[in-house]
């Protein structure tokens, strides 16, 4: 599909970025726009983070009867592309009345919905953009601490009603606005570009699939993030309630161990909103969209992935057990995350092992499938091993020099160094310029907004 000329122009005019933006820069950006365009904007504090940060929403007026779009960045605080995308979108809408008229929306834009978590990632936002530097300064919250996954849930025996203050702010906006379009600005880590829509919208699919190639990025034709996810189209998946995951896990005879809730798509879906998630990697390779034969079986690739995740889970669980009676800050965000991801990796290992023995896995694998499984293995090791190291370093930083803590830190650091070395051998990763990432996510937002008004 050829992208429309106006959309190509908007994408091509996205400028360069030397680094990702932190909390203070994103807040300044919204305040500057509100001060510069008071006739069409309103800056409103819609909530307060758990650590007392203001949650700011910039409203850009539309015409009476226009649909409403809710756009928010940093639903996961290790995914900062969306902060820059949100600011760029807001700046273009403010500056260009023609763009506002074309898209015909009332816009509600939050550049950062999890400022507390983003501050714990600010060590890597300015680079160097190496895998090791990223992993050693990485933070992703435990499931019950993630804004995206703490919406209310009441499904069979899965129940969650402990919505975070940040999630409650989104819920209030969704309930009051009943938006027609919701864009939760995520990103992935390795591979190619892919999307989630809460329902199939074939005319929009074509534009979303064409966007990455225009900016020089591949579509991701590898594994979906989870086996229960439905593929709507090439590199487009259905984002729905976590109830689908529940049915999949319990259908395998496994217990439901998640302590988190539901997601944005599920909550906004009650009002008929179209929800778009654009997933973009920081690094890519030539294997991301290679659907040729890999020369190996899909079952064996799954089995290798399962073994690696079980090893990671064991290291994390054993370390947590070894220091459990020796911690000075046992409820730090890093320990909460480590406990959560140790459990998650154990569950993921069991799922991958079960899938590897199913009849459906007895087939040749594609290059993209093998690559995405290997990349997931390495990402989880570097990410969650890095969080565990930060938890142990935090204990040392507050003066906890107990032998169990020092021994655990030495053991985990050695394994993490092995994983970093192994990751370097996985393939030739290219670090993607930030401009290409923002341009792709921005283009997807515009395409979705035009689709809503055209539909």
Condensed to tens digits (0 to 9), the pLDDT of residues 77-94 reads: 999 999 999 999 999 999
Backbone angles phi, psi at 196, to 5 degrees: -120, 135
- The secondary structure of 20-81 as a DSSP string is ---HHHHHHHHHHHHHH-TTTEEEEEEEE-TTS-EEEEEEE---TT--EEEEEE-SSTT-TH
pLDDT the model gives residue 285: 87
Percent of the chain whose predicted confidence (pLDDT) is above 90 = 93
Whether residue 444 has pLDDT greater than 90: yes
pLDDT the model gives residue 373: 94
Residues contacting 405, CB < 8 A, separation 6+: 323, 326, 327, 392, 395, 396
The predicted model gives 202-228 an average pLDDT of 94
Whether residue 257 has pLDDT greater than 90: no
Residues 317 and 32: their CA atoms lie apart, in Å, by 46
- Asked whether the beta carbons of 441 and 184 are under 8 A apart, the reply is no
User: Which phi-psi region, left, alpha or beta, contains residue 74 (left: φ > 0; alpha: ψ -120 to 50)?
Assistant: left
Whether residue 426 has pLDDT greater than 90: no
- Asked whether the beta carbons of 215 and 436 are under 8 A apart, the reply is yes
pLDDT tier, 289 (very low <50, low <70, confident <90, very high otherwise) = confident
- The secondary structure of 171-204 as a DSSP string is HHHHHHH--SEEEEE---SBS-BEEEESS--HHH
More confident residue, 280 or 287: 280
Residues 406 and 256: their CA atoms lie apart, in Å, by 34
The predicted model gives 119-126 an average pLDDT of 98
Residues 386 and 135: their CA atoms lie apart, in Å, by 5
pLDDT tier, 455 (very low <50, low <70, confident <90, very high otherwise) = confident
The predicted model gives 401-427 an average pLDDT of 95
Whether residue 223 has pLDDT greater than 90: no
The predicted model gives 182-210 an average pLDDT of 97
Backbone angles phi, psi at 227, to 5 degrees: -70, -20
In this structure, the strands spanning 430-431 and 283-284 are: antiparallel
Query: How many H-runs (helices) and E-runs (strands) does the chain carry?
Result: 15, 15
pLDDT tens by residue, 333-365: 999 999 999 999 999 999 999 999 999 999 999
pLDDT tens by residue, 163-187: 999 999 999 999 999 999 999 999 9
Strands (E), 61-178: 68-73, 106-110, 153-155, 158-160
- Asked whether the beta carbons of 30 and 114 are under 8 A apart, the reply is no
pTM summary value: 0.95
pLDDT the model gives residue 286: 86
What angle is formed at CA 190 by the lines to CA 367 and CA 376, rounded to 5 degrees?
Answer: 70
CA-wise closest residue to 309 among 354, 342, 345 = 345
The predicted model gives 403-407 an average pLDDT of 98
Residues 53 and 114: their CA atoms lie apart, in Å, by 9
User: Which phi-psi region, left, alpha or beta, contains residue 101 (left: φ > 0; alpha: ψ -120 to 50)?
Assistant: alpha
User: 322-328, long-range: CB within 8 Å, 24+ apart, which pairs?
Assistant: 322/404, 322/407, 322/408, 323/392, 323/395, 323/402, 323/404, 323/405, 323/408, 325/404, 326/400, 326/402, 326/404, 326/405, 327/395, 327/400, 327/405, 328/395, 328/398, 328/399, 328/400
Tell me what the pLDDT averaged over the chain comes to: 96
Backbone angles phi, psi at 281, to 5 degrees: -95, 160
Residues contacting 248, CB < 8 A, separation 6+: 226, 227, 228
Lateral strand order in the sheet of 274-279 = 41-48, 54-60, 106-110, 68-73, 181-185, 274-279, 194-197, 236-238, 231-233
pLDDT the model gives residue 78: 98
More confident residue, 240 or 46: 46
pLDDT tier, 1 (very low <50, low <70, confident <90, very high otherwise) = confident
Residues contacting 442, CB < 8 A, separation 6+: 10, 11, 14, 85, 88, 89
pLDDT the model gives residue 427: 73
Whether residue 28 has pLDDT greater than 90: yes
CA-wise closest residue to 108 among 54, 163, 20, 44 = 44
Whether residue 238 has pLDDT greater than 90: yes
Whether residue 212 has pLDDT greater than 80: yes
With 0-12 / 13-18 / 19 or more C-beta atoms within 10 angstroms meaning exposed / middle / buried, residue 190 is: buried
pLDDT the model gives residue 288: 85
Whether residue 252 has pLDDT greater than 90: no
Residues 201 and 210: their CA atoms lie apart, in Å, by 15
User: Which phi-psi region, left, alpha or beta, contains residue 109 (left: φ > 0; alpha: ψ -120 to 50)?
Assistant: beta
Lowest mean pLDDT among 32-46, 164-178, 284-298: 284-298
């Amino acid at each position: 599909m050829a992208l429309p000329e106006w959309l190509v122009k908007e994408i091509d005019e996205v400028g360069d970025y030397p680094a990702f933006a932190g909390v203070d820069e994103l807040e300044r950006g919204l305040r500057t726009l509100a001060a510069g365009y008071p006739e069409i904007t309103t800056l409103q504090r819609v909530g307060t983070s758990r650590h007392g940060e203001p949650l700011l929403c910039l409203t850009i007026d539309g015409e009476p009867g226009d649909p409403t779009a809710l756009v928010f960045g940093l639903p996961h605080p290790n995914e900062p592309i969306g902060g820059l995308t949100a600011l760029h979108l807001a700046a273009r809408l403010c500056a260009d009345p023609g763009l506002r008229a074309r898209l015909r929306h009332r816009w509600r834009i939050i550049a950062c919905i999890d400022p507390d978590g983003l501050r714990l990632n600010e060590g890597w936002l300015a680079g160097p953009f190496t895998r090791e530097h990223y992993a050693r300064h990485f933070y992703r919250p435990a499931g019950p601490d993630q804004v995206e996954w703490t919406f209310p849930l009441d499904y069979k025996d899965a129940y969650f009603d402990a919505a975070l203050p940040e999630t409650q702010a989104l819920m209030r906006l969704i309930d009051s606005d009943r938006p027609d379009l919701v864009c939760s600005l995520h990103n992935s880590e390795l591979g190619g570009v892919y999307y989630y829509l809460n329902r199939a919208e074939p005319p929009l699919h074509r534009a979303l699939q064409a966007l990455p190639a225009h900016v020089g990025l591949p579509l991701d034709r590898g594994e979906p993030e989870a086996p229960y996810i439905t593929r709507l189209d090439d590199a487009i998946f259905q984002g729905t309630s976590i109830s689908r995951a529940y049915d999949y896990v319990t259908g395998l005879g496994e217990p439901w161990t998640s302590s988190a809730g539901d997601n944005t798509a599920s909550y906004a879906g009650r009002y008929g909103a179209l929800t778009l998630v654009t997933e973009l990697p920081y690094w890519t390779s030539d294997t991301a969209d290679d659907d040729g034969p890999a020369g190996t079986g899909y079952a064996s690739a799954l089995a290798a992935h399962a073994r690696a995740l079980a090893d990671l889970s064991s290291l994390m669980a054993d370390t947590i057990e070894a220091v459990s009676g020796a911690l000075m800050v046992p409820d730090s965000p890093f320990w909460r995350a480590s406990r959560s991801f140790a459990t998650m990796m154990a569950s993921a290992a069991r799922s991958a092992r079960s899938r590897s023995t199913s009849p459906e896995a007895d087939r040749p694998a594609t290059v993209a499938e093998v690559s995405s499984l290997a990349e997931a293995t390495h990402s989880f090791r570097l990410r969650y091993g890095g969080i565990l190291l930060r938890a142990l370093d935090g204990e040392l930083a507050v003066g906890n020099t107990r032998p169990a803590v020092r021994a655990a830190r030495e053991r985990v650091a050695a394994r993490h160094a092995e994983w970093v070395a192994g990751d370097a051998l996985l393939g030739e990763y290219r670090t993607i310029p930030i401009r290409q990432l923002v341009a792709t996510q921005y283009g997807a937002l515009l395409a979705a907004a035009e689709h809503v008004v055209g539909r």
